[in-house]
Amino acid sequence: MKLHLIIGVAVFLLAQAVGVPAPAAEQPQPWMNASLTPDQRADLVIAQLALDEKIQLVHGIGWGPLRPGEPVPPDNNGGAGQILGIARLGIPSVQQADSAVGVRSGAEQSRYATLLPSVLGAASSWDLAAAHLYGDVLGRELRAQGYNQSIGGGVNLARDPRNGRLFEYAGEDPLLAGTMVGHVIRGVQDNHIMSDIKHYALNDQETGRAVVDVQISHKGARESDLLAFELGIRIGQPASVMCSYNKVLGSWACENEWLLNHVLKDAWKFPGFVVSDWDGTHSTDKAVMAGLDVQMPGEEFLGEPLKQAVSAGRIPMRRLDDMVHRVLRSMFSAGVVDHPPTPRRVVDPFKGLEDAQHIAEESIVLLKNDGILPLNVAAVRVIAVIGAHADVGILSGGGSAQVDAPGGNAIDLTRPTQWGKPVYFPSAPLRYIREHARGAQVHFDSGSDPAAAASLAKAADIAIVFADQYMSEAGDAPTLSLPGRQNELIAAVAAANSRTVVVLITGNPVTMPWIDQVAGVMEAWYPGVGGGQAIANLLFGTIVPSGKLPITFAKSEADLPHRQIFGAAPRAAKDDSGGNWLEDNQKRQRFPADYNEGARFGYKWFDSEEKQPLFPFGYGLSYTTFTYSDMHVDPKARTATFTIANSGPRSATEIAQLYVALPSRSGERFRRLAGWQRVVLDAGEHKTVAVTMEPLALAVFDEKKDAWEWLHGRYKVFVGGSSRSLPLQAEVTLY
């Protein structure tokens, strides 16, 4: 493979050097006419391509900078992937960067990238403008760094709350997740950067991700994970879809006829290209004929073997042309040919920080408040800040989503970013708490010894305990518990001081055995580079919390559809966070994951099983109170109109949610989120709000007809501030 690459690069360089074809500018290049459609332009290019050039456009150049020692071509930009362009025709290389929560691999290139809050955090804002801004930060920083494709866009649903990559995804509901990620994609592509959506599909756990065979009904898949993709693709129109590592119903996702050709390309009419996850390709003929368009990162299957298959007539030339067409039309459509990225600039770290902090401030969810928050600066003399390295920084998520911290890992500036090792960003909550509480003494304790932390807390008016959980690609959490001794720490501090507030910096939901002993709890997720500032602003009330949970918090694993992650085989604890997590372990035996819950997970599971969650989906407190009244549902327009009043003391934002229960013959015993609206209200103000229901959130997937269907009958409509607090109810006949 390396030899192939070296030859490929040599041929490429030779072609440039010898200048076989005339310089681009001297030839008429009709495909550069921006008034033609992307499809017309792609076809004009294809007519000029030799077979080798077509093949060159459907695979990557190897692991390159991701694996030390791998050869990299001279124009490589340092990202996770590159497809060599056709310079003689003015077609640039595709330069792909992982950019789930910020642009990856900055440190190696001495480049700065903004760390945004986790995607799960951003989803807690339910704010389409924040989602667009999220994509905008990614898009403009990719541009400034010379990339032209983002390979973020994770939208796998939180089927299992222990999934190690949940921080890269947008929660458990297909409408919320698909909509938020769709708007992130728009934000990226508005910068003339191609975007991606991943990991297609049902890559809902990391444990055994390269060997697990997901069993699920078509109905269950279409109404859950695939619905999130369907909406995300419809809204965002990404350039590519990344197929995942796992099998689905016996066939690898990257050679799965049903997923790729049937659903994605035929049913959804996706015009872009399907790119394999890195080393997720398993064949040539089968994969290509099932709908795979681009192999990443190398060429073992879609390089020479594809050329042979086409030459031998096993794969028709028109299929290869279709693959190339999909790549080129996506490039033209996003504008990467007409508006190539402009490197040799630096990203704007100030704008990045401002945007990241704004999104974080909308993301943080206030889970419990017995009146202690917002903290009253005037009344506090001594504050104890405890745990999670809050004196130096804030945790980020790992794996291919890892962004490098400016100045180095805040807990060890000498250590470069290393796969599987937690990285802290230098946004120390302690510093910003001190800035707010200027008149108070603020002391810090590391929390490593619960007894010592408790004695500091005892002598303080208020204790703020930070607790964190490191999560990363390639592993899942074995349980929902906070790792290490953090539960013990919180219990000890709370026993010493009843005025204890817990701030969680976690990738995933966690259990809270100490919930009744503490006075307040905030879920800050991984809040990004402005996390310390955002947390302090919410604690002290400069900002009123507005985030709502995009995922259910369970009281215990026993309440989940599956008590354990499939294939779970805990390994010894050896990471720095004190957690022990499960590894993907690619070499192990294949095993099935029977997702017999179908689409009934998260709040749909808890509601239909009548289980009480710790905190329900859609839940989050404010420093004010809202009252709902006067609902009217227009069945023709499928719109509910109602009034919300801010009945409390502060201007604030409420996320009003609309849920629907389908007619009884659907057999469903749960409600579905069908729409929402963020409403900004001054103290005492009220507004009339209209929420329109998303048709696909009202549909059932009919397996026999292989199509969406709408049931005629009585629908129950519910509106309120969380999936379990729905004061307004009505019944209407729809369809």
Interface residue with ligand BGC, options 44, 80, 386, 463 (CB under 6 A) = 80
Query: Considering beta carbons, is residue 119 or 384 the nearer one to ligand BGC?
Result: 119
Query: Considering beta carbons, is residue 213 or 361 the nearer one to ligand BGC?
Result: 213
Using CB under 6 A as the binding criterion, the count of chain residues that bind ligand BGC stands at 8
- Give start and end residues of each alpha helix (H) in 239-316: 285-290, 304-311
CA distance 137 to 139: 6
Name the burial class of residue 57, with classes exposed (0-12), middle (13-18) and buried (19+) by CB atoms within 10 angstroms of its CB. Answer: buried
Strand partners, 729: 718
Binding status of residue 500 toward ligand BGC by CB under 6 A: no
Query: Considering beta carbons, is residue 254 or 482 the nearer one to ligand BGC?
Result: 254
Interface residue with ligand BGC, options 98, 223, 583, 668 (CB under 6 A) = 98
Which CB contacts under 8 angstroms, 24+ apart, belong to 71-77?
71/2, 71/5, 71/6, 71/9, 73/9, 73/12, 73/13, 74/13, 77/145, 77/146, 77/147, 77/343
Q: Within positions 171 to 210, which residues make up the interface with ligand BGC, using CB under 6 A?
A: 198
Query: Considering beta carbons, is residue 445 or 473 the nearer one to ligand BGC?
Result: 473
Q: Closest approach of Cβ 330 to ligand BGC, in Å?
A: 17
- The DSSP element (H or E) to which 67 belongs, if any, is none
Binding status of residue 277 toward ligand BGC by CB under 6 A: yes
Query: Considering beta carbons, is residue 276 or 577 the nearer one to ligand BGC?
Result: 276
Binding status of residue 252 toward ligand BGC by CB under 6 A: no
Q: How many CB atoms lie within 10 A of CB 444?
A: 22
Q: Closest approach of Cβ 243 to ligand BGC, in Å?
A: 11
CA distance 466 to 388: 5
Q: How many CA atoms lie within 13 A of 364 on its CB side?
A: 31
Query: Considering beta carbons, is residue 224 or 402 the nearer one to ligand BGC?
Result: 402
Query: Considering beta carbons, is residue 63 or 617 the nearer one to ligand BGC?
Result: 63
AA letter at 406? P
Query: 553 with 504: CB under 8 angstroms?
Result: no
Give how far Cα 731 sits from Cα of 478, 664, 711, Å. Answer: 42, 12, 15
Query: Considering beta carbons, is residue 308 or 586 the nearer one to ligand BGC?
Result: 586
Q: Closest approach of Cβ 455 to ligand BGC, in Å?
A: 45
Q: Kind of pairing, strands 240-243 and 196-200?
A: parallel
Q: Closest approach of Cβ 308 to ligand BGC, in Å?
A: 27
Q: Closest approach of Cβ 84 to ligand BGC, in Å?
A: 18
Binding status of residue 211 toward ligand BGC by CB under 6 A: no
Q: Closest approach of Cβ 80 to ligand BGC, in Å?
A: 4
Interface residue with ligand BGC, options 56, 400, 486, 508 (CB under 6 A) = 400
- The DSSP element (H or E) to which 531 belongs, if any, is helix 531-539
Q: Closest approach of Cβ 527 to ligand BGC, in Å?
A: 22
Q: Which tokens hold the place of 487?
A: 């539960």
Query: Considering beta carbons, is residue 196 or 468 the nearer one to ligand BGC?
Result: 196
Query: 241 with 272: CB under 8 angstroms?
Result: yes
Q: Closest approach of Cβ 436 to ligand BGC, in Å?
A: 38
Query: 722 with 548: CB under 8 angstroms?
Result: yes
Q: Within positions 313 to 352, which residues make up the interface with ligand BGC, using CB under 6 A?
A: none
Query: Considering beta carbons, is residue 117 or 280 the nearer one to ligand BGC?
Result: 280
Q: Closest approach of Cβ 154 to ligand BGC, in Å?
A: 7
Q: Within positions 141 to 170, which residues make up the interface with ligand BGC, using CB under 6 A?
A: 151
Chain centroid to CA 609? 28
Q: Closest approach of Cβ 473 to ligand BGC, in Å?
A: 6
Which residue in the block uniquely carries the two structure tokens 């391509």? 49
Query: Considering beta carbons, is residue 38 or 399 the nearer one to ligand BGC?
Result: 399
Interface residue with ligand BGC, options 278, 605, 617, 642 (CB under 6 A) = 278
| Burial annotation 670-709 (CB, 10 A radius, 16+ → b, else e) | bbbbbbbbbbebeeeebbebebebbebbbbbbeeeeeebe
Q: Closest approach of Cβ 235 to ligand BGC, in Å?
A: 21
Name the burial class of residue 354, with classes exposed (0-12), middle (13-18) and buried (19+) by CB atoms within 10 angstroms of its CB. Answer: middle
Query: 620 with 546: CB under 8 angstroms?
Result: yes
Binding status of residue 607 toward ligand BGC by CB under 6 A: no
Q: Within positions 461 to 490, which residues make up the interface with ligand BGC, using CB under 6 A?
A: 473
Binding site for ligand BGC (CB under 6 A): 80, 98, 151, 198, 277-278, 400, 473
